[in-house]
Structure 1
Amino acid sequence: MNRIRLKQATGASQAPDISIEYLTRIEQGRDRNPSIAVVNALADALSRDPSERNRVRYLSKIIAGACSGHAQPAPPRRDVRPSVLETLRVLEPGIAMVTNRLGDVLAHTSAFESVTSGTGLLDADNPNLTRCVFTDARARKFFTDWDDVADEQAFDLWLAPSVDNSEWFTTELAPLAGLAFARRLNCHVVPQRGVLRLNHPSGCRLELLHETLDLSADARQLVVFLPVDERTAQAVEQLRHRPH
């Protein structure tokens, strides 16, 4: 036979037949614009789960876009609603930030800036916690349990509600982050979100609980960090009054 009946493998009555020659062209990159029906049929035949099917469809779109000259997806917006900014103001002098599943630090309290000072996190024009964790050597010292934090950031990236945005960010980050990032990205193991332990560059050791509140209206999260004990609370207070 010179055709593959994907519907026999998937049980789908409307799945297209694909010739061996056409499948070979796809594998060799000679056909970079398969139809949505073909992409879905291939994903079914390979028993991909829903999230992986979305990524396959996305990758087929950006490859086709690159070949046709169409622009690839833009980075996600970084604006924060005024009411959310007001919430951060009310939380002062607490430690809090607004972020998304990609790890963008979109807004924060002054106490958050104090706790992360000297770590490089807020040095970039567009701060991103995930990028900092995987590409800044200082992060491995700052986060006592770096492996656990890395697991959390990779898992949240996989959970990102926008496939376009998460693929854009993953494609940008993967060459810089290397194997430490790549091997985590597809594990899909729910991380243990315990106490966040920090080694501040000033010498302070901090232990913080963190509560994440979903702002579902705009795909954001409000993360509030709470000192575990009085020692950490006093250390945070000292950091707040240090000149940066």
Structure 2
Amino acid sequence: MGTPLGDFIRAKRDSIQPKSLGLPDHGRRRAPGLRRSDLAARAGISVEYLTRIEQGRDRNPSTPIVHALADALSLDPSEREHLRYLTKITGGECPSHARPAPPSRAVRPSVLETLRLLDPGIALVTNRLGDVLAHTEGFAALADGTGLLDAEAPNLTRYVFTDPRAREFFADWDDVADERAFDLWLGPSIENTAWFTAELAPVAGPDFTRRLKGNVVPQRGPLRLDHPAGYALRLLRETLELPSDAQQLVVLLPADEATAQALEELRHGPSGRLRVVS
């Protein structure tokens, strides 16, 4: 049985063309990308040991080995951080079979006050599972007609993978789906993530499970939205981590004048109200 660490290394190896690393192309082969023997040679380890890591038979590679694999795969900084995280959770204790307590949906008063100050701007408080915990009226105006806030306890990840309207709303749906799947690895706890993914996988289907297993590290460029009201929007994202709460404050800003004008037209007027999703 594989592990998140092994799956990530194998996926990255399969995505690399040998010529990009100055290696000879050995011609057609059953699996794409870099040969296991080539990666092992670049990392200075045996093919047998690399096989054990990829297949999940070795769950505790040393720190030097992890760094050597990162160098051999030419990982960028975000991918290296993800590799270290996967090494940690793969070598740790398995999650308990008892259902964990869900992450807190409470938002600190000072964070709520920050949201009030941001209104009528577009901002929300969320966690890595995708729970929408609080938002400004500006965000409600943006989400109006999309179905994103229709659920009693809205969840962005569930919306992206299970609501057909999401594929129309997000112009770059594949990129957003990669982001949502990747963020689950950084969830409030390993136990919470395990339960959430187990519940979501049967209804989300292969688009979700393939991404979760592939460990694609997203680039997170501008967010492009095709709003059902007929507006094409481009938004920049600024994220403030709230580590003590395992939450994030996300602010969306217009990337161009056309988007700024469209957002003004979407708003029903500044109400100064703030919605908390309990």
Q: TM-score, normalised by structure 2?
A: 0.65
The count of aligned residue pairs is 189
Structure 1 position 158, deviation (Å): 1.1
**1:57 aligned partner:** 94
**2:211 aligned partner:** 184
- Asked whether the equivalents of residues 103 and 188 of structure 2 are also in contact (C-alpha less than 8 Å), the reply is no
- Asked whether the equivalents of residues 182 and 216 of structure 2 are also in contact (C-alpha less than 8 Å), the reply is yes
Task: For 1:171 and 1:189, locate their aligned partners in 2 and report how far apart those are by CA, in whole Å.
Answer: 19
Superposition CA RMSD, Å: 1.7
- Could you give the per-residue CA deviations for residues 132-158 of structure 1, whole angstroms, max 9, x where no partner exists? 000000000000000000000111111
Q: Secondary structure at the match of 2:214?
A: coil
**2:275 aligned partner:** none
| Mapping for residues 129-140 of structure 1, pairs under 5 Å | 129-140=156-167
Structure 1 position 44, deviation (Å): 7.8
- Could you give the per-residue CA deviations for residues 116-171 of structure 1, whole angstroms, max 9, x where no partner exists? 11111100010000000000000000000000000001111111141111111111
- Asked whether the equivalents of residues 126 and 250 of structure 2 are also in contact (C-alpha less than 8 Å), the reply is yes
Worse-superposed segment, 224-233 or 159-168: 159-168
Structure 1 position 217, deviation (Å): 1.4
Q: TM-score, normalised by structure 1?
A: 0.74
Is residue 196 from structure 1 mapped to residue 226 from structure 2 by the alignment?
no
5+ residue gaps in structure 2? 1-54, 61-86, 270-278
**1:239 aligned partner:** 266
- Could you give the per-residue CA deviations for residues 19-77 of structure 1, whole angstroms, max 9, x where no partner exists? xxxxxxxxxxxxxxxxxxxxxxxx984336322344x601xx20xx4xxxxxx213222
**2:153 aligned partner:** 126
**Counterpart residue type for residue 108 of structure 1:** H
**2:119 aligned partner:** 92
| Mapping for residues 25-174 of structure 1, pairs under 5 Å | 45-47=57-59, 49-54=87-92, 57-58=94-95, 61-62=96-97, 65=98, 72-174=99-201
- Asked whether the equivalents of residues 75 and 168 of structure 1 are also in contact (C-alpha less than 8 Å), the reply is no
Higher relative contact order by CA 8 Å / sep ≥ 6: 1 or 2?
2
Task: For 1:76 and 1:121, locate their aligned partners in 2 and report how far apart those are by CA, in whole Å.
Answer: 20
**Counterpart residue type for residue 181 of structure 2:** A
Q: Secondary structure at the match of 2:159?
A: helix
- Asked whether the equivalents of residues 94 and 111 of structure 1 are also in contact (C-alpha less than 8 Å), the reply is yes
Task: For 2:213 and 2:187, locate their aligned partners in 1 and report how far apart those are by CA, in whole Å.
Answer: 13
Aligned sequence identity (%): 64
Give the 3 Å change call, closer, same or farther, for CA 44–148 of structure 1 in structure 2: closer
Task: For 1:212 and 1:99, locate their aligned partners in 2 and report how far apart those are by CA, in whole Å.
Answer: 10
Structure 1 segments of 4 or more deviating over 6 A? none
Task: For 2:171 and 2:216, locate their aligned partners in 1 and report how far apart those are by CA, in whole Å.
Answer: 21
- Asked whether the equivalents of residues 130 and 157 of structure 2 are also in contact (C-alpha less than 8 Å), the reply is yes
Q: Secondary structure at the match of 1:209?
A: strand
- Could you give the per-residue CA deviations for residues 203-241 of structure 1, whole angstroms, max 9, x where no partner exists? 111100001110111111000000011110110011002
